[in-house]
Structure 1
Amino acid sequence: MGLNFDQLSGQTDSHLVLLDNEQHRLQADVATAYQRMQNDAAEDGVSLAIASGFRSLERQLSIWNRKWQGQLILRDHAGQAMDIARLTGEEKLWAILHWSALPGASRHHWGTDLDVYDPAPFTDSNRQLHLVPPEYTHADGPCYTLWRWLKHHAGRYGFFFPYARYQNGVAEEPWHLSYQPLSGPALEQLTVEKLAALIAQLDIEGQQTVLEHIKTIHQQYVLNICRESAV
């Protein structure tokens, strides 16, 4: 049984359970699979924790609006800060979408997707997690050992990397795992028509620009995932 639209778009968390030890919300089957994976990783000497699980529509909308208004830093594809005053509405749109999902279209709404990290290097130190690829993909990165373990084992538990690499949509996210048995059906449910109807009702910055490009957004930033890494 699939999600209803309020669940699919992050307007409610009624489809989720709270993980006792991490204070993050996921669908029950996802939580069970994650905890099995976490326990098995620990047996291999690898620590695994969640940086972000469920994200509500309200929170995603706040992120979006603050980026559009310039209250949060807007970055180019190289991660450099951009001068928002020099950008057109369409340029802001693509810049935000490279790093942040459109409200209502975030995979984090579904309770199937989670950002993970290795907490061990951050214990009793001033080191901070920034969720940037080198932390995971570089041999000296604090989450490199975890990333390597997940690449070999995550599929056994139903997880895959939807943003394993950049392919002209969302930026590379080696920390982002998705539970394919449930995220696959959720992705099919999120049609461009449903998404457009939601955006038309939201108090979202750049609404007209978003609606003008909604088909491209849906194709390039929602459907465009690394499917071959799915289990």
Structure 2
Amino acid sequence: MTAFSQEPDKSYLLGRFNPETDARFVKPADEHTAGAARSQYLRKETYEAFVKMAEAAATDGVRLVIISATRNFETQKSIWERKWQAEATIANEADRAKKILLYSSMPGTSRHHWGTDMDLNDLNNDYFESGEGLKIYQWLTAHAHEFGFCQPYTSKDKGRTGYEEEKWHWSYTPLSVPLLEAYKKTVSLKDISGFKGSETAVQLDVIKNYVDGVACK
């Protein structure tokens, strides 16, 4: 676990910063990215560990590709509010939020804010259950921990709360574990604001049930 010389500031934990101008972040090389990730950033430590992992995977015939990396508050707000509008037929706002929260975070609560988490290869669990996708997932579950990575959103069969399983989402734990602890100490539900439906954060207790609903601790 990484020990921070000082506690991360609240704006960083909430994603209210620009990773493009933050010296802690780096833009991954095109050879390691596709889609939206081509214009996104990661914490330097995260990317360095990913490169080592990708090189090891390649020797086993597995190609790992980052398809989504750091998303700050504004990017997450755009995603959330698009889905909020798309689910407008759900009149009860708490129910609407819960529907979106199956796979998407409220702005200010996403692990993607921190530069520690990435989505790999495909955004569908089905992809990782057969063929090339299964080979990739089996490699990750066997070896990702050797490079500091963990799947935060595993099956909920053992009582994990929050988001549904995401076989594509991997987190660099030497940074993300202490950042989660800092988040729980520093951020309160009243800080989850500034987007449509934010009032439901308190009702759904999103810090306890979603932010902390992870397998990587």
Give the TM-score normalised by structure 1: 0.79
Which deviations, in whole Å up to 9, do the C-alpha atoms of 1:188-218 show, x marking residues without a partner?
1113762434334x1x1123233343xx211
Q: Could you tell me which residue of structure 1 aligns to residue 137 of structure 2?
A: 147
User: Is residue 183 of structure 1 aligned with residue 176 of structure 2?
Assistant: yes
The residue type paired with residue 163 of structure 1 is: Y
Contact 1:104 1:195 in 2 (8 A): no
3-state secondary structure, aligned to 1:207: coil
Which structure has the larger Rg over C-alpha atoms?
Answer: 1
Matches within 5 A, 1:1-231: 1=4, 2-12=7-17, 13=19, 14=22, 15-21=24-30, 22=33, 23=38, 24-70=40-86, 74=87, 84-117=88-121, 129=122, 131-136=123-128, 138-140=129-131, 142-166=132-156, 167-191=160-184, 194-200=187-193, 202=194, 204-213=195-204, 216-227=205-216
Question: What is the root-mean-square deviation of aligned Cα atoms in Å?
Answer: 1.9
The residue type paired with residue 178 of structure 1 is: S
Report the Cα offset of residue 93 of structure 1. Answer: 1.4
**How many Å separate the matches in 1 of 2:196 and 2:186?**
19
Report the Cα offset of residue 6 of structure 1. Answer: 2.2
3-state secondary structure, aligned to 1:51: strand
Contact 1:165 1:226 in 2 (8 A): no
Unaligned segments of structure 1, at least 5 residues? 75-83, 118-128
3-state secondary structure, aligned to 2:101: helix
**How many Å separate the matches in 1 of 2:65 and 2:95?**
35
Report the Cα offset of residue 9 of structure 1. Answer: 1.7
The residue type paired with residue 191 of structure 2 is: L
3-state secondary structure, aligned to 2:100: helix
Contact 1:168 1:220 in 2 (8 A): yes
The residue type paired with residue 186 of structure 1 is: L
Give the TM-score normalised by structure 2: 0.84
The residue type paired with residue 125 of structure 2 is: P
Unaligned segments of structure 2, at least 5 residues? none
**How many Å separate the matches in 1 of 2:185 and 2:206?**
9
The residue type paired with residue 104 of structure 2 is: S
**How many Å separate the matches in 1 of 2:72 and 2:78?**
10
